[in-house]
Structure 1
Amino acid sequence: AGVPAAAVQTVDQALAHPHTRHRGMLLEQGDYQGVGSPIKLSRTPATLRKLPPALAPAASQE
């Protein structure tokens, strides 16, 4: 029908797709794994400057 369309993927499927890795969308630094910037600029590429803070354990509410 001339309408651009594609199958919907789960997050796991999208992250495992070869195109995702080819585009540099996965960041790995030490134990950290995350998603990179979808915006790709040739002169000023996005970089991971510092890691996000670690999650603190949930505080118990009494």
Structure 2
Amino acid sequence: MIERGLDRSNIVAVHTGECWDPGKRAKPVSRAQAVEALRHQVPACTKCRLDTALGIEV
């Protein structure tokens, strides 16, 4: 999932689908979209660690 900020153009974090703390503005995305966001320096959630779950080093 991708969590957007208040202005909707800012991406705050990337989460796994099972994350317990995704925020109210999180929307489901494909794996490819999540990987692309991580590669563009969007931080992974510190609780679910999507980067670790996907095996990606950023």
Q: TM-score, normalised by structure 1?
A: 0.27
Whose RCO is larger (CA < 8 A, sep 6+)?
Answer: 2
Q: Which has the larger radius of gyration?
A: 1
TM-score by length of 2: 0.29
